[in-house]
A and B are shown apart, each in its own frame.
Chain A
Amino acid sequence: MMKLQKATSFALFAVLDLAAQPERPQSVIEIAERYGISAHHLAKVLRDLGRAGIVNSARGVGGGYRLVANPKRLTLLDIIQIFEPPGREPAGGNDPELATDAGRALRLVLDEIDEHVLATFRSITVSTMLKLMVRRPWSASLERSAPKAATGR
């Protein structure tokens, strides 16, 4: 199963939080506490997002971070690529076994998976994620799997 790096996940949480309340600046501590994550690590992530022009911050009373990118245009891939730049060497790098037919066939399959992953991240905007969070399509399956309350029988 695909796994995002910690910094990427923190960035996505922060951006979604800021997009959900665009009128209210939020502090690093506030966001970190909500997700139970390291404020120190999150502060670094938010600085990176600031350098990328996705958020900005204001100091003082009423200060904090705000989303400045357009949530209808900002995609998950835009955020992920800041922390996990594309074009990295695949697992195994230039290992000689990858130059074999088996290695090339495996590479072809992994590339196919990568293309689907990229297309998915590229097509989902922050706005779409917010809608998904409101719709909560997972809640039905959670309810189905939740243990029933005791009935006294």
Chain B
Amino acid sequence: MGGALQGPPMKLAATAEKSAALHIRQAVRADVPALIALDEEVTGLAKPKYWEEIFDRYGAPRRQPLFFLVAEQGGRIEGFIVGEVRAWEFGSPPCGWIFAIQVRPTTRLAGVATQLYNALCDAFRRTGVKKVRTMMARNNQLILSFFRSQGMMAGPFIELETTLE
């Protein structure tokens, strides 16, 4: 799912609309086509099956602490964020994980991602967790800078990988 944290085009559009009228809410099934289109606009790849599965896992109402939030403005989805609380992976106590965040390129620099991030952090706080984590490609400067600007710093884990031969 880390793939959803892809770097959008580096060209940033000027602020198009004010974030005041923005509404952050839980995603619903009817949002999925718009989410697929937004993801395609940002990444250049259409992944309808992937987003259907993500919605089934994170968007449908359930008791587990999974969150799929969208930012809606004037009836249009301008961005979304996906996260969940996970416990005891890698020996870590329960913490919030952010898996995906995207904002429409023409709506950037208007605070949409910050509002989505804050809303997800509030949701995490309500579950009682004290930490929020995410992971992304280290050359993804735009998203990395965004999370840094929210106060995130390197955590206690190091990601390692190898090529299977």
Where the two chains meet, the residues of A that have a C-beta atom closer than 8 Å to any C-beta of B are 72, 75, 115-116, 119-120, 122-125, 127-128, 131-132, 135, 137
Contact = CB atoms under 8 A, between A and B. Distances in A.
Contacts of A128: 145, 148-149
A116 B138 contact: yes
Contacts of A115: 138
A127 B141 contact: no
Interface in B30-51: none
Given A75-B145, A128-B148, 14 more contacts: A119-B141, A119-B144, A120-B154, A122-B141, A122-B145, A123-B141, A123-B145, A123-B148, A124-B145, A125-B145, A125-B149, A131-B149, A131-B151, A137-B153
Interface residues of B, number: 10
Minimum-distance CB pairs A-B, first 6: A119-B138, A123-B144, A128-B149, A123-B145, A128-B148, A123-B148
Contacts of A125: 145, 148-149
A127 B149 contact: yes
Interface in B134-149: 138-139, 141, 144-145, 148-149
9 contacts: A75-B145, A116-B138, A119-B141, A122-B145, A123-B141, A123-B144, A125-B145, A128-B145, A137-B153
A131 B151 CA distance: 8
Secondary structure of the A side of the interface? helix
Interface of B: 138-139, 141, 144-145, 148-149, 151, 153-154
Contacts of A132: 151
Contacts of B151: 131-132, 135
Nearest to A72: B149
B142 to A, nearest CB: 9
A131 B154 CA distance: 16
Contacts of B139: 119
A119 B141 CA distance: 8
A131 B141 CA distance: 18
A125 to B, nearest CB: 6
Contacts of B148: 123-125, 128
A53 to B, nearest CB: 19
Contacts of A127: 149
Pick from B141, B148, B151, B153 the residue with the most CB of A within 10 Å.
Answer: B148
Contacts of A131: 149, 151
Contacts of A119: 138-139, 141, 144
